Structure 1
Amino acid sequence: MDAPPSEEHAMPSFLKPCLIAASTLALTACVTFGKQKTNAPRLTCAPETVELMKKLRLEPGQQGSLQLDAAQPGGPTDYGVYRQGKVTSRLESAVGDLPAGTLVVGVLWMDTGKVQVRYTQASLPDGQNHPVCLVLGASAPGGLYAEAGTTPSAITLPRSAPFTVVSQFE
């Protein structure tokens, strides 16, 4: 059995619960924030989707810009707060045969500070729907780094962001 600590090295009893709480909070923050993520959707860009995208003049590497959340108010230079999960974005620029105003649906998630979206469905302003393979960001595999103040449940990003056409989700 260990000897009790000497009086000069003893921790005051009222500090012990505070130290335990602070340690637990710090450890939880490190584990949760550093590793918190929604698993990427297990998707591939189907060969028939790639063929359809060719007919729509969508080629891998083409880029454009979009409003990250079509329903969120504000201008293109504003910032918005987003949640992990399904997101509907609006194309600000035409790409291939997808005109500006096309809605694209995807899944948004955060992976160690980088926000990813894989878009799989496009709804043109004339009502046509097409499968697509687009990613958030200016290059494949895509993604944008979240702004300061972002948490896993409140992701801060610019409302206007680039997207890229891909033939395969990585």
Structure 2
Amino acid sequence: MTIASGPVIQVCWVVEDIEAAETFHSQHFGVGAWFRLPDIRFGPDEVTLHGDPADFTVHVSMAYAGDLQLELIQPVSGESIYTEHLARSGPGLHHICFETDDLDAAVDRARAAGLDVPQQGVMGGGLMSFAYVDGARWGVPYVELAQLSDGIRDLYAAIKDPR
């Protein structure tokens, strides 16, 4: 039984300075056209951290390398798996993201497999639902499972091809 069978759509780094990380990826790896969403707040009615309501703010920046979305997340305030990652490991690779058509079923399968799901919630009033599965066994801190709406797919398409 697989947890998710959708494609890997994203690789994400948690960073302390989002502008510096954008510059690094652009200068050294040719990644350009970053799309930054500053001060994205996740409130206690939208997200849980270790099963409890959470309240935090992050800066998010996205770009594409071919068909793969690259994401940068800089914690701004509050506690999240992003602040935990920085405290434990410093800046670096945080997660890969698998798309799923049924997030609730994927989370149930993860838990049935004995995997911890430390953070989950919704973004943008339901544009995207997400859950993070502990991925340490696979050499990546987390595996994100994401169920995307047509609205977020449209945003991603505009970021990928900003014409």
Q: For the pair shown, which has the larger CA radius of gyration, 1 or 2?
A: 1
Higher strand proportion (structure 1 or 2) = 2
User: Normalized against structure 2, the TM-score is what?
Assistant: 0.28
Higher helix proportion (structure 1 or 2) = 2
User: Normalized against structure 1, the TM-score is what?
Assistant: 0.27
